[in-house]
Amino acid sequence: MTRPIAGVTGGGSGIGAAIATTLGQRGYHVVVTDVDLAGAQTTASTIESAQALQLDVTDPVACDATVNTIVAQHGRLDVWVSNAGISKMQRFIDIAPTDLARNFEVNTYGVFYCGQSAARAMITLATPGRIINTASMAAKQGRVPYLADYVASKFAVLGLTQAMAFELAPYGIRVNCVCPGFVATPMQSRELAWEAELRGIEPDAVRALWIADTPLARLETPEDVARVVAFLASDDAAFITGEAISVNGGAYMD
């Protein structure tokens, strides 16, 4: 029997690498994509059945081309995970229009374009596919320092997830998002340094603040997120769509 096919964006690092690895362990052939091809290749090389493709999610033509390549090679597309994202910590009053635009291009438009490409293929193939978007705890609350553009872009992902779920439900396609908290990844290391500088405290003190904000009292791991993505991709979640699942150790409860 052929393996189900899962595409993951931003799979070359952090949460995306963990999602790709977890889906691989659960029997998928994983297409690991990233704008950083070397990163995608490194992730794919550790997974039993995987391949790497370069994809910049801000390019809608490339999103279509990548999905079409996958379908041409494998004849199917079962799961698509739009996970690629960026952040840059700055005071709200200092965020330049170019930074704001870049944030939305990757975090929101990227999810939009990839979702369109994946959905078109799933509809054409009559596949009851699953699309999972990586949003954030910052998609549900704006009480987040120095990330106003990121917060706005992630709130948009949550709304988009619901709109996609509503329109794609007649095709049997489920669409959900995960909302991680303080996840130990390269993105978090960058944020640790920025927040320490902006607050005028040591990075260790920032880390301690994040852990103190988390009732389960530790930083989140990429695998904490990946297991929930795998659940949403599975038949155990067969009647869940349009949902935004918090995976944050209780750091924000809604």
Ligand X SMILES: NC(=O)c1ccc[n+]([C@@H]2O[C@H](COP(=O)([O-])OP(=O)(O)OC[C@H]3O[C@@H](n4cnc5c(N)ncnc54)[C@H](O)[C@@H]3O)[C@@H](O)[C@H]2O)c1
Contact between 31 and ligand X (CB under 6 A)? Answer: no
Residues near ligand X (CB under 6 A), total: 31
The SS3 assignment for 54 reads strand
- Give the interface segment with ligand X, choosing from 35-43, 71-79, 121-129, 235-243 (CB under 6 A): 35-43
CB 161 within 8 A of CB 80: no
Name the residue with tokens 């695998």: 223
Q: Which of residues 142-181 bind ligand X (CB under 6 A)?
A: 180
Pick 125 or 196: Cβ nearer ligand X:
196
- Whether the CB-CB separation of 67 and 44 falls below 8 Å is answered with no
Q: For residue 26, give both structure tokens.
A: 């659960």
Residue 252 bears catalytic tag: no
Options 20-28, 30-38, 68-76, 196-204: segment touching ligand X (CB under 6 A): 30-38
What's the gap between Cα 253 and its chain centre?
20
The torsion angles phi and psi of 21, rounded to 5 degrees, stand at -65, -45
Spatial separation of the C-alpha atoms in residues 221 and 106, rounded to whole Å? 23
- Closer to ligand X at the Cβ: 18 or 119? 18
**Which residues within the stretch 46-105 sit at the binding site for ligand X (CB under 6 A)?**
55-58, 83-87
| 3-state secondary structure at position 171 | helix
Whole-number Å distance between alpha carbons of 158 and 102? 18
Which one of residues 4, 9, 114, 156 is an interface residue with ligand X (CB under 6 A)? 9
**Rule CB under 6 A: is residue 108 a binding residue for ligand X?**
no
DSSP state of 182: S
232 is a contact residue toward ligand X (CB under 6 A): no
Catalytic residues: 150, 154
Question: Site residues (CB under 6 A) for ligand X?
Answer: 9-10, 12-16, 34-36, 39, 55-58, 83-87, 106, 110, 134, 136, 180, 182-183, 185-188
